[in-house]
Structure 1
Amino acid sequence: MNLDNPIFKKPITEVIKARTSMRSYNGVPLDKTIGDSIIDVINQVKAPFGTNIRVKLINSKDSDLKLGTYGVIKGTSTFIVSSVPKSDNALVDLGYSLERAVLYATDLNLGTCWLGGTFNKGQFAEVMELKDNEILPIIIPVGYSSEARRGMDTFVRFMAGSKNRKAWSKLFFDVDFNTPLKELESLEYFIPLQMVRLAPSAANKQPWRIIKSSNSYDFYLEQSKDSKSDSYNDMHKIDIGIAMCHFELTSAELGLEGHWEKLQLSSQDNKKYIISWVRK
């Protein structure tokens, strides 16, 4: 873990606050040097579960295939495309790794947007040369934001309730899920937890639940109890990875040392245990 976050020019808290889902871009091509640096950021990440993530920066104009997003994204032809093996925690690692690149792009005043459903998966999988044991769950468009954001941006953000954040007491707990964590009792981890609250998530579900234990912060995924929602629960593993990225980067900037570790903890009801941040 880098305690000074050298890839960022601005404080990570400012970068996280500045990040927003951008769907309208101004059409200016992304500089190749910048594109290469974004991919380098992802390749240098050591994911908590050690997943091998394949990633490419794809320009749809360079392909004969129709790499479309069904009209959701306008003004950019550049996409971060990645694939991971079909394994239990691969999507957690994917969210963790790619969010660092999203924040890096934000720090460069670039726009991005996590897309999990509104793109032609078959065509992108073909360009990615997807293997039999891999999945391609998301793509991320990247580019220079349009001066006048389209009505689509406003509409999608309104429908998703992107500005709405769950109350602190609904997300963070003390020792067990029966006791909400008081903000003052989070002490030096108040800011990292606040940055978790600002993490993006599919349909703004904010599925992360965190328990403060004696020497760790234990991350759980609140799953839907609807048996038809297995695919959505899997996608929310990406959200947990994104939240972990925010938590670690902010902790690092504050000089709070620790590491990710899978402890001998059990899932509880619809809350699936994922991993813990063990403090030094």
Structure 2
Amino acid sequence: MAESLAWRIKVSLQWTGWLQYIPNMFLVVLLSFLGFLFRTLGFPHLATIFDVLDAIAFFVLCFDLITVKFNCRPTEAIPARKDWDAFDLMRQRRSCRSFQWRDLTPEHRNELMECVQANLLPQKMLGSKPIRLEYIREPLTVWPVVGCHEFLVAIAPKEYDRLAVLDVGRSLQKVVLHATRMGLATCWIGPGADQSSVQQKLGPRFNEEKDHIICVCAIGYPSWYMPTTIKWTVNMFSATRNPLSKLFFRDSRFETPLSTEAPPFSRYGRCYEACQWAPSSFNAQPVRVVGHAEGQRFDFYGANSSRYYTPVAVGIWLANWETGCEALKIKGHFKIMDSEKLDVPALTNDGPVYDMSWICSP
């Protein structure tokens, strides 16, 4: 079916970086019209109020265009390293929507790439299929992130392998956490990246017959200057997460919430919170966990049958859970349980899908 004209316009504005300014422009026009209307109807005091609001909206629009779209703004400082504990690091990390135009320093870039290589070692993978995190230092066509020109592109084999997608989420999240400790800003980008733009910038590093781009992660220094529309959206949605009672359960029917604050499950402390605040596409939180055997085993499920975004989210949860357990000095390992040992719920067309279990070591 042919795409509508409105959709084509929306996509064009999105990829050219103008879409985030359209609501401000619309507000300026609307307030100007209301001022004119009330003045025409003989309500000068109301007209004056709308004129003042229109002037404020116009100023905000101009400020956004000058400082963000056209990058006329003062140089901002490089953030300091964050000496936080593991749980504060995972809890405070946020997706950055606006980046400084400066490059990463050579020291930061080298440390970042060392972390990438360390987390891609074969012995650290859950699956057997190789994945890659390719570095790009060029602007990509992404939305709604602005200002970023350094990225990690997560690539898995084109032949679908769910474990490889889990490895992407788990490995890249560990890199993201290390980058956060370094003081760098990051943003996971899935549907907001133009695939053709990414493939073009990868060049010979991407083989269309063998490779599949899973997602992109923007990396850089955060900027205070951000389009107002994005700032409102971030403030509205980034501070909300499902309660633990809707994420952790005692049964694989996901009916009985796990008593995370009562023994024996309470020993995992803030590990639950670390998963609760993990990033996911549109903050959908498509992961569920079932606790078994008096806190000795946790089964991780994708809440729906999505082939890419949900297993990436599960992989991110695995990384945060593992990081939390290491901080608490609780030893364990990941394992795929045999089906006869699992009380797997009846599958529907949209999941859930069992992915992985974490087993506490004796």
Regarding TM over 0.5, the answer is yes
Select between 12-21 and 122-131 the one with higher mean Cα deviation: 122-131
Q: 2:141 aligns with which of 68, 85, 91?
A: 68
* 1:167 equivalenced with 2:243 (yes/no): yes
Residue 272 of structure 2 is matched in structure 1 by 193
1:191-270 alignment, distance < 5 Å? 191-214=270-293, 215-223=296-304, 232-264=306-338, 265=342, 267-268=344-345, 269=347, 270=351
Determine if contact 2:186/2:217 at 8 Å carries over to the other structure: yes
Counterpart of 1:90 in 2: which secondary structure?
A: helix
Moved over 4 A (4+): none
Residue 3 of structure 1 is matched in structure 2 by none
Determine if contact 1:39/1:56 at 8 Å carries over to the other structure: no
* 1:16 equivalenced with 2:90 (yes/no): yes
Structure possessing the higher relative contact order (Cα contacts under 8 Å, 6 or more residues apart): 1
Deviations 1:75-95 (A, max 9, x none): 221111121113122111101
Residue 183 of structure 1 is matched in structure 2 by 260
User: 1:69 and 1:25, CA in 2 relative to 1: closer, same or farther beyond 3 A?
Assistant: same
Larger-gyration structure (1/2): 2
Question: How far apart, in 1, do the equivalents of 2:145 and 2:84 lie?
Answer: 27
* 1:137 equivalenced with 2:211 (yes/no): no
Determine if contact 2:184/2:221 at 8 Å carries over to the other structure: yes
Deviations 1:162-189 (A, max 9, x none): 2111121111111443321112232211
Determine if contact 1:200/1:239 at 8 Å carries over to the other structure: yes
Determine if contact 1:51/1:93 at 8 Å carries over to the other structure: no
Deviations 1:105-134 (A, max 9, x none): 111111110000122212312333322122
* 1:52 equivalenced with 2:127 (yes/no): no
TM-score between the two structures when normalised by the length of structure 1: 0.86
TM-score between the two structures when normalised by the length of structure 2: 0.67
Deviation at 1:267? Answer: 4.1
Deviations 1:165-221 (A, max 9, x none): 112111111144332111223221131111100101111111111011112111011
Residue 227 of structure 1 is matched in structure 2 by none
Question: How far apart, in 2, do the equivalents of 1:181 and 1:117 lie?
Answer: 33
RMSD: 2.1
- The residue type paired with residue 217 of structure 1 is F
Determine if contact 1:22/1:153 at 8 Å carries over to the other structure: no
User: 1:84 and 1:212, CA in 2 relative to 1: closer, same or farther beyond 3 A?
Assistant: same
Question: Structure 1: where are the runs of 5+ without partners?
Answer: 1-7, 62-66, 224-229
Identity of aligned residues (%): 25
Question: How far apart, in 2, do the equivalents of 1:78 and 1:106 lie?
Answer: 15
Aligned residues: 260
User: 1:104 and 1:25, CA in 2 relative to 1: closer, same or farther beyond 3 A?
Assistant: same
1:103-142 alignment, distance < 5 Å? 103-128=177-202, 129-131=205-207, 132-142=209-219
